[in-house]
Amino acid sequence: MNKDRVTFLLITLLAIIGMILGFWSPSINTQLVSGITTFLAILVAYVQFCYDKIDKLFVWWNHGWQWFRNPKADWEQVVELQLIRDDEESDEHFIDLFTEQFVATMKKHNYDIIRTDPGGEIVTRFEIRNPGKSTGEIEISEVDDDTYRITITYSTSYSYNQRVKGVEELEKIYQIASRPLTMDESCTRHCVQVRLLFEKGNPFYGYVIRKIAPLKINDFELKFESIENVSVSATNKYLQLDASGFSQLRGVLNDLIVLPNID
């Protein structure tokens, strides 16, 4: 049932209540009942108009509604680090040293970590588990001579009210993974990607989708860059955020609104 129909039914109901009160209770001031009914009808129409036309009111209302509903989402998060080594130590020595320090630090923070590659390869893989909550993988690979890539993939579930917590958890693992990199590396950079998948509702960022007519939509994709310099890709199945840092992601997730299904 769309909003226009709800508004129409609500106004009609108020009018019927006013007529019933006036018919059954002659002692009631019919002029007063009529005035109250008219006022309420105008008030409802005015609120509906503001909701449709004033963006801030729309955002404020939906933030409150989502806080109350607190829908859950599956998170797929990826953070990638790339670094160039300036020293002349061997590749094998670097990977072994990183692995040793990384595993020790992860265990210190109560993460279960298991090495999954057979060893002796250029790519080193780990599986990490945060008991009862999430799973992840870390891959260390050589991109070019003296250039390495460290990719952290982390999957879990969070409710709407915990959406910033997901970024904080990923940042914690990133800090642990980057801690062993105290050697003479240069040109280090990283990028962060978060993909949210919802069972119900479409995880559209902001309120752009509300301006689309209520048609049957089988597929949809919207791409834009937010004011926090985060690349946003929204479809009818997931929301993907790409950023160069964690603080930008927090800003975007704080503004996140999950709207009802458009189909």
Report the domain count for the chain.
2
Same domain, 48 and 123: no
Which two structure tokens, joined as six digits, stand for 173? 């693992």
Same domain, 10 and 90: no
Angle between helices 163-178 and 246-254 (to 10 degrees): 170
Q: Is the pLDDT of residue 256 over 60?
A: yes
Q: Is the pLDDT of residue 185 over 80?
A: no
Average pLDDT over residues 97-115: 79
Q: Cα separation of 156 and 134, whole Å?
A: 5
Residue 236 inside a domain? The answer is: yes
Same domain, 36 and 147: no
Average pLDDT over residues 239-261: 76
Q: Cα separation of 123 and 89, whole Å?
A: 18
Same domain, 38 and 155: no
Question: At 207, is the pLDDT very low, low, confident or very high (cuts 50, 70, 90)?
Answer: very low
For residue 187, what pLDDT is reported?
45
Residue 211 inside a domain? The answer is: yes
Question: At 120, is the pLDDT very low, low, confident or very high (cuts 50, 70, 90)?
Answer: low
Same domain, 39 and 160: no
Same domain, 148 and 32: no
3-state secondary structure of 255: coil
Q: Is the pLDDT of residue 244 over 70?
A: yes
The predicted-structure confidence for 29-45, as pLDDT tens digits, reads as follows: 556 656 666 666 666 66
Average pLDDT over residues 195-216: 55
The CATH number of residue 138's host domain is 3.30.160.110
Same domain, 159 and 82: yes
Same domain, 31 and 112: no
Q: Please state the φ and ψ torsions of residue 205, each to the nearest 5 degrees.
A: -80, 135
Residue 58 inside a domain? The answer is: no
Same domain, 129 and 232: yes
Q: Residue 15's domain spans which residues?
A: 3-53
Residue type, 75: W
Average pLDDT over residues 205-210: 46
Return the minimum-mean-pLDDT range out of 9-13, 84-88, 181-185.
181-185
